[in-house]
Amino acid sequence: MVREYEERVCLGIMVDPDNAEYTVGPYQPGQGVPKAFKNAAHPQYDSRSFNNPELEMAKALDKFDEHVWARNKVRVGYGIPLPIKCGSSSTFYPDFLWWVRGTVWAIDPTGRFILEDKLRSKLLTAPAPLKIALVTPDKYDRNYQKQEDGGWTLLRFRVGNVQPETFDNADEMLARLVEESDDLPKPAKKRTSPK
């Protein structure tokens, strides 16, 4: 019963109508060396904003010129309410938001040591245009045992079948997310009445 719930849980409406749109606010730099980016929502982030996998992810996101990304700050950025608590938190703050055509990817690089906890609480389906991707350095098999050092493992919601997918590098992994992104909705045609 627990496995069935975990494999099928999905979010409904996540926010109240007054806050249905998320707008990236100004970046508040911390102490650290500024790192410039060309495709980020902010022109730079300080070096202390990233651990090694997060910095590798930021550099990979920045290579996709046609899409914008942002570093999401915990407790002040965009949060996704969770149907069940993860540790002491009822809200999931993904490390990155990435706008790809009609999809907003919530990407969270994570270490293997907390991957299973996140799978149980944060890897779920969300209302469009949001999609969630958990990623981790190195390659893991379907039992989440390390296959080899290097590369990346991608996990996203699949009804009844959460399977890790491995890639040689972050660029290839992000290219897969681009492939899985929805097109922008077509604008509705205006109706004109005959005179």
Q: What CATH number does the domain containing 133 carry? A: 3.40.1350
Q: Answer yes or no: is 40 within a domain.
A: no
Domain carrying residue 96: 2-11+50-179
Instruction: For residues 142 and 112, give the distance between their C-alpha atoms in angstroms, rounded to a whole number.
Output: 13
DSSP H or E stretch at residue 94: none
Series of mean pLDDT values for 10-residue runs along the chain (195 residues): 48 51 74 90 89 94 97 81 70 91 92 53 68 90 85 79 87 96 72 54
| 42, part of any domain | no
Q: Is residue 33 a part of any domain in this protein?
A: no
Q: Is residue 26 part of a domain?
A: no
34 within some domain: no
Q: pLDDT value at position 113?
A: 47
Query: In 3-state terms, what secondary structure has residue 33?
Result: coil
Domain count, the chain: 1
Let me know if residue 110 belongs to a domain.
yes
pLDDT of residue 168: 97
- Quick one: pLDDT at residue 150? 93
Q: What is the pTM of this model?
A: 0.80
Length of the chain: 195
Q: What is the pLDDT of residue 41?
A: 93
